[in-house]
A and B are shown apart, each in its own frame.
Chain A
């Protein structure tokens, strides 16, 4: 049930854009995005609940294509603070346990 993330790693210069993809073999009810910096806890970014939904804050946004069981995270005009590992967590049941299955992560490095 673990979702697949791509790419595994990406290096950007400040100001460049990046897209991180998350796909699942199961029908999804929601997709959660987290960022984790080295040695720290994962930090919640956003949840997408409906097919086709797009959300965003600051210059980080995400989309969720329910039919394709995919979500993408968009980082625009990247900043040094965006560096970290991004995880998608997928949830296949409406209500219930809300057990999240996390992907293996995408390591993003932003350089000056």
Chain B
């Protein structure tokens, strides 16, 4: 499989619960990005990793959100104490940093619904 994969594809949770999403990037890609997309909007940047280092976080990423990329391969995004406002599509993308064009390849996303 040469694409970015994300699991689960859908998650329904009750407010206050913790959830964790996983992203497996394209194997040779150094950079991994997390975005959030709500209905009718474009993807909003949350954070990105270069290998295992988390290099930047958006102000959108509150302290209830945490992301990891151990060993520079797959990444997880955890949301603690979920709120209804967290309901969105969470997209993961990866890119090969040493290309001049930096195109990002997106995964299918995890749709989170907080009830």
A interface, CB within 8 angstroms of B: 2, 30, 32, 34, 40-44, 47, 49, 87, 89, 91, 97-105
Contact = CB atoms under 8 A, between A and B. Distances in A.
A100 B108 contact: no
Given A87-B43, A104-B41, A98 B31 contact: yes
Interface residues of B, number: 24
Interface in B48-71: 48, 55-56, 58
A41 B101 CA distance: 20
B102 A99 contact: no
B41 A100 contact: no
Given A42-B43, A49-B100, A102-B44, 17 more contacts: A2-B42, A40-B108, A41-B91, A41-B107, A43-B106, A44-B106, A47-B101, A49-B101, A87-B42, A87-B43, A89-B43, A97-B55, A98-B95, A100-B45, A100-B104, A101-B45, A105-B40
B109 interface: yes
A100 B108 CA distance: 18
A41 B106 contact: yes
Which 8 pairs across A and B sit closest by C-beta, in order of nearness? A102-B42, A41-B106, A87-B42, A47-B101, A42-B106, A98-B102, A44-B103, A41-B108
10 contacts: A32-B103, A32-B104, A41-B109, A47-B101, A98-B31, A98-B48, A98-B95, A98-B104, A99-B45, A105-B41
